[in-house]
């Protein structure tokens, strides 16, 4: 990537399969834009904004993730907020993971009923909250909705989907998962984390975005036909919003076709991810609990050190990566989050390993306390 006139090796783009600049994708995008322009279709899906292409994409998505039906959403963040708002009323109870994405938290905040949070990926904590939720739902006549993520985007940990599904034998609830990072990357076919954990049927409502593995805009929700039809007519964010423009929909169909039929793209992603993670661990770096392609590198340092380290990586090593600090993580910790993709090479990995080793030694020696990096 060119950044301020210099070429940089970038590890911060959600382009897992390298589809953003894929020639077939660019051709499909360009041809659709030439044929339809960006305005068509005019209107919301319920009114004048529907098309055969929208419906075909929904059908293909549903089949791919193992559900009866799917509904396209204009945006991922907005979509998840609206899904939660539509699925529950004041009599229902929500139980959600403490480290859920902000879109889930904001959706839960809209809930007029009771909600309980369980400790991150802690099944004992979840059971405790399910007991409370079940008692309350029995009193109100409502239901229980459990919400978690397939892949947690900051830590790289998989949600314990299969273990949650197993709890349905004892507790009555529906399960909604946000699989933004898992869709297209996890599982034998790339269908998602529920495929990777062999519990597709146990997930009642599946949510995926196009912004990660498909390098596009928008999202979708998939479930049985009854739930999806309910969402079609009750999601205010879609009912009162213009449909996804035709070039995006046609471009997304091409992306999905490549995702499903080019397994070598996903294999390349995992080759890079494993080489990167193995190399970092061999050099003594702490990657936390990640068991996916998301690669957080944990270091110890303060805000000023983190800023200088990141600037050093960018300006002197030509490596651009995301930095995570307090309040997302505890004070005194720095996370350099690496997003591997199919467009990276093993040479990129080696270059990054060498650079990380050098800046880690500088950090340990106090170099970034004494040397502040600022842009000229």
Instruction: Indicate the domain borders of the chain.
Output: 2-19+263-370, 37-261
* pLDDT over 70 at 177, yes or no: yes
Parallel, antiparallel or unpaired: strands 322-324 and 144-149? unpaired
> What Cα–Cα distance (Å) separates residue 368 from each residue in 83, 146, 325, 331, 338?
45, 44, 16, 17, 21
In angstroms, rounded to a whole number, what is the distance separating the alpha carbons of residues 268 and 344?
Answer: 9
- pTM of the model as a whole: 0.94
Parallel, antiparallel or unpaired: strands 93-97 and 144-149? parallel
In angstroms, rounded to a whole number, what is the distance separating the alpha carbons of residues 40 and 173?
Answer: 40
Question: How sure is the predictor about 224, in pLDDT bands with cuts at 50, 70 and 90?
Answer: very high
Residue 123 near residue 160 (C-beta atoms within 8 A): yes
CATH class of 37-261: alpha beta
Fold matches, 2-19+263-370 and 37-261: no
Question: How sure is the predictor about 376, in pLDDT bands with cuts at 50, 70 and 90?
Answer: very low
Structure confidence at residue 375 (pLDDT):
55
* pLDDT over 70 at 304, yes or no: yes
Any bridge partners for residue 298, and if so which? 286, 335
In angstroms, rounded to a whole number, what is the distance separating the alpha carbons of residues 207 and 65?
Answer: 10
Structure tokens at 144: 């229980």
In angstroms, rounded to a whole number, what is the distance separating the alpha carbons of residues 224 and 232?
Answer: 12
DSSP 264-314: HHHHHHHHHHHHHHHHHHHTT-B-TT--SS-EEEEEE--HHHHHHHHHHHH
Question: Which DSSP helix (H) or strand (E) runs through 207?
Answer: strand 205-209
DSSP label at residue 18: S
Parallel, antiparallel or unpaired: strands 333-338 and 322-324? antiparallel
* pLDDT over 50 at 325, yes or no: yes
Any bridge partners for residue 97, and if so which? 118
Quick: pLDDT tens for 65-119. 999 999 999 999 999 999 999 999 999 999 999 999 999 999 999 999 999 999 9
- For the domain with range 2-19+263-370, which CATH number is right: 3.40.47.10, 3.90.1150.10, 1.10.10.10, 1.10.3720.10? 3.90.1150.10
In this structure, what are the phi and psi dihedrals at residue 257, rounded to the nearest 5 degrees?
A: -60, -45
């Amino acid at each position: 990537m060119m950044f301020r006139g210099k070429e940089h090796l970038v590890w911060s783009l959600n382009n897992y399969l390298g589809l953003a600049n894929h020639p077939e994708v660019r051709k499909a995008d360009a041809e659709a834009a030439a044929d339809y322009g960006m305005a068509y279709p005019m209107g919301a899906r319920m009114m004048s904004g529907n098309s055969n292409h929208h419906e075909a994409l929904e059908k293909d998505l549903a089949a791919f993730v193992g559900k009866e039906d799917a509904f396209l959403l204009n945006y991922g963040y907005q979509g998840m907020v609206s899904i939660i708002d539509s699925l529950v009323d004041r009599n229902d109870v929500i139980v959600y993971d403490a480290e859920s994405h902000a879109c889930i938290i904001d959706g839960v905040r809209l809930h007029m009923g009771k909600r309980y949070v369980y400790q991150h990926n802690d099944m004992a904590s979840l059971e405790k909250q399910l007991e409370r939720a079940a008692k309350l739902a029995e009193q109100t006549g409502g239901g229980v909705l459990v919400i978690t993520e397939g892949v947690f985007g900051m830590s790289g940990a998989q949600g314990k989907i299969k273990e949650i599904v197993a709890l349905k034998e004892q507790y009555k609830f529906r399960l909604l998962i946000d699989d933004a990072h898992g869709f297209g990357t996890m599982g034998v076919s790339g269908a998602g984390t529920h495929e990777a954990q062999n519990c597709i049927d146990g997930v009642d409502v599946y949510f995926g975005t196009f912004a990660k593995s498909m390098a596009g805009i928008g999202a979708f929700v998939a479930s049985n036909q009854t739930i999806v039809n309910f969402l079609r007519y009750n999601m205010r964010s879609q009912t009162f919003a213009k449909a996804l423009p035709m070039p995006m929909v046609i471009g997304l169909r091409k992306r999905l076709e490549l995702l499903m039929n080019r397994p070598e793209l996903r294999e390349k992603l995992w080759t890079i991810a494993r080489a990167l993670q193995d190399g970092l661990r061999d050099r003594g770096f702490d990657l936390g609990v990640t068991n996916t392609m998301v690669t957080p590198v944990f270091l110890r340092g303060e805000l000023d050190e983190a800023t200088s380290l990141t600037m050093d990586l960018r300006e002197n090593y030509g490596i651009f990566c995301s930095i995570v600090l307090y309040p997302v993580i505890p004070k005194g910790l720095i996370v350099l989050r690496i997003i591997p993709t199919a467009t990276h090479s093993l040479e990129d990995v080696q270059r990054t390993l060498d650079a990380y080793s050098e800046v880690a030694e500088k950090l340990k020696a106090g170099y970034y306390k004494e040397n502040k990096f600022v842009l000229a």
